[in-house]
């Protein structure tokens, strides 16, 4: 009964009677909603784009031949409470690498949907035509690599598969190729810290869009890497792809617990970037809240004005037998209607903004390549914006509506007579 037809009729009559102001407050809400949808689609889109690049371009988990805790000296284990100092300890030189990596690989591959491959990485210098660059070399398995990373999609010339057919083949980035004028088929000297020098033939050039990779990363066969770095039959990392990237954090913890080796999930590696997104979202939502607050001031304003102007009508409605809560409902309905229409119009504005943004194309080269805005057409933004709009509209209407319901008809009628 509270939102009875007659209350709606009166609310609509009030709004229609002040068409221009109603329109302005609807527009206020609509712009708030529209810009929210536009910007959040942009923000969410770029976040998703970035995260999916992160997730797709790298293995989800990398198990390395490192330990989080340095090995404890036995002395400290024996004298746990003692005041013991140890000086001049020289770390034992041991052959690095993951022990029994083949057995571990089998364990991993036994799990449904998990892809894993061994890798051996090391620093090296690539020399060609008198120029040198530091390059990180990664020994890979070209059969598994395309399923672990997006490297194959980034190939501009040649292929990963050529590594299998060419002795001492190497795949380099476009950046390195440009710097050293090193092209397909050229032979470059690759110098390892161990002193090994191997002449390698460029069989592929990739461009990941990430300068660090394009200038500083090269791929060779695992076997070739083992020869180059003098580490026969050794892999220093296991690179793992999971069916669901979101389980990476949990899975990496389990692996670390089981094998002791440091297992880094993509979330851990990119913690700082993911943290940035949280800050960015917080900024977005505070800006949008500010827009909505301004819009709700508009609503507050128009409904307060109506209430002031309609005091006499309110008094007469009350004398007729309208209850205080009917009066409150009448004005709340007005806020609600402005909110609803504003929300719907705002959705239209949002869709318009998104499609305009989507039609803009540009090329940015930098840490990450982009062609046009990455957008997210998620339904969630529409819902969030809608809830925001309705809530602020009803809240803005509440105060004047409540004041209207507190009108004492006698005061008004006595004053008017």
Interacting residues with another protein (CB under 8 A): 1, 4-6, 9-10, 13-14, 16-17, 312-313, 315-326, 409-410, 413-414, 416-417
Nearer Cβ to another protein, position 338 or 354?
338
Nearer Cβ to another protein, position 287 or 308?
308
Closest CA to 323 of 15, 3, 13: 3
Calpha distance 81→258 (Å, rounded): 29
In sequence order, the 6+-apart residues with CB closer than 8 A to the CB of 131 are 179, 180, 181
DSSP state string for 18-65: THHHHHHHHHHHHHHHHHHHHHHHHHHHHHHHHHHHHHHHS-SEEEES
Calpha distance 261→96 (Å, rounded): 12
Give the helix/strand (H/E) hosting 185.
Answer: none
Nearer Cβ to another protein, position 153 or 309?
309
Calpha distance 104→117 (Å, rounded): 10
- In the complex, least distance from residue 299 CB atom to another protein, rounded to whole angstroms: 19
- In the complex, least distance from residue 412 CB atom to another protein, rounded to whole angstroms: 10
- Polymer length in residues for the chain: 417
Q: Six-digit token pair at 82?
A: 């003692």
Q: Six-digit token pair at 174?
A: 């476009």
Nearer Cβ to another protein, position 164 or 323?
323
Nearer Cβ to another protein, position 22 or 46?
22
- In the complex, least distance from residue 337 CB atom to another protein, rounded to whole angstroms: 15
Nearer Cβ to another protein, position 208 or 306?
306
Task: Find how far residue 327's CA is from the centre of its chain.
Answer: 47
Longest dimension (CA), the chain: 107
Closest CA to 60 of 70, 68, 52: 52
- In the complex, least distance from residue 335 CB atom to another protein, rounded to whole angstroms: 18
Nearer Cβ to another protein, position 278 or 308?
308
Calpha distance 310→316 (Å, rounded): 10
Which is it for strands 217-221 and 169-173: parallel, antiparallel or unpaired? antiparallel
- In the complex, least distance from residue 324 CB atom to another protein, rounded to whole angstroms: 6
- In the complex, least distance from residue 353 CB atom to another protein, rounded to whole angstroms: 36
- In the complex, least distance from residue 338 CB atom to another protein, rounded to whole angstroms: 17
Give the helix/strand (H/E) hosting 183.
Answer: none
Calpha distance 244→121 (Å, rounded): 26
Nearer Cβ to another protein, position 146 or 409?
409
Give the phi and the psi of residue 136 in degrees, each rounded to 5: -90, 125
- In the complex, least distance from residue 376 CB atom to another protein, rounded to whole angstroms: 44
Nearer Cβ to another protein, position 10 or 55?
10
Strand partners, 131: 128
- In the complex, least distance from residue 305 CB atom to another protein, rounded to whole angstroms: 15
């Amino acid at each position: 009964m509270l939102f009875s037809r007659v209350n709606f009729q009166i609310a609509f009559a009030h709004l229609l009677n002040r068409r221009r102001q109603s329109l302005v407050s609807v527009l206020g809400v609509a712009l708030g909603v529209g810009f929210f949808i536009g910007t959040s689609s942009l923000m969410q889109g770029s976040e998703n784009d970035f995260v999916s690049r992160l997730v797709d371009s790298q293995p989800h988990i990398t198990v390395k031949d490192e330990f989080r805790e340095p090995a404890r000296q036995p002395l400290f284990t024996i004298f746990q409470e003692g005041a013991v100092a140890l000086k001049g300890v020289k770390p034992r030189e041991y052959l690095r690498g993951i022990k029994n990596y083949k057995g571990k690989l089998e364990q991993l591959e036994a799990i449904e949907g998990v892809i894993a491959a061994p890798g051996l990485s090391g620093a090296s210098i690539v020399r060609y035509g008198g120029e040198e660059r530091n390059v990180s070399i990664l020994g890979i398995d070209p059969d598994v690599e395309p399923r672990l990373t997006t490297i194959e999609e980034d190939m501009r010339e040649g292929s990963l598969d050529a590594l299998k057919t060419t002795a001492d083949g190497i795949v380099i980035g476009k950046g390195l190729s440009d710097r050293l004028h090193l092209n397909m088929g050229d032979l470059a000297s690759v110098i390892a810290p161990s002193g090994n020098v191997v002449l390698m033939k460029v069989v592929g050039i990739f461009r990941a869009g990430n300068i660090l990779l394009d200038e500083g990363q090269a791929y060779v066969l695992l076997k070739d890497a083992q020869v180059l770095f003098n580490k026969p039959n050794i892999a220093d990392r296991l690179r793992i792809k999971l069916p669901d990237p979101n389980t990476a954090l949990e899975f990496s913890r389990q692996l670390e617990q089981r094998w002791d080796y440091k297992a880094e999930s993509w979330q851990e590696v990119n913690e700082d970037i993911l943290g940035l997104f949280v800050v960015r979202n917080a900024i977005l939502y505070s800006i949008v809240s500010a827009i909505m607050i301004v819009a709700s001031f508009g609503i507050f304003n128009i409904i307060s004005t109506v209430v002031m102007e309609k005091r006499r009508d309110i008094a007469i409605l009350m004398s007729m037998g309208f209850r205080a809560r009917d009066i409150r409902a009448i004005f709340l309905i007005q806020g609600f209607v402005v909110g609803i229409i504003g929300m719907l119009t705002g959705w239209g504005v949002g869709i318009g903004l998104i499609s305009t943004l989507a039609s803009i194309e540009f090329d940015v080269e930098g840490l990450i390549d982009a062609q046009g805005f990455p957008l997210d057409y998620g339904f969630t933004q529409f819902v969030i914006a809608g809830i925001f709009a309705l809530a602020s509209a009803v809240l803005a209407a509440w105060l004047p509506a409540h004041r209207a319901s507190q009108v004492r008809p006698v005061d008004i009628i006595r004053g008017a007579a």
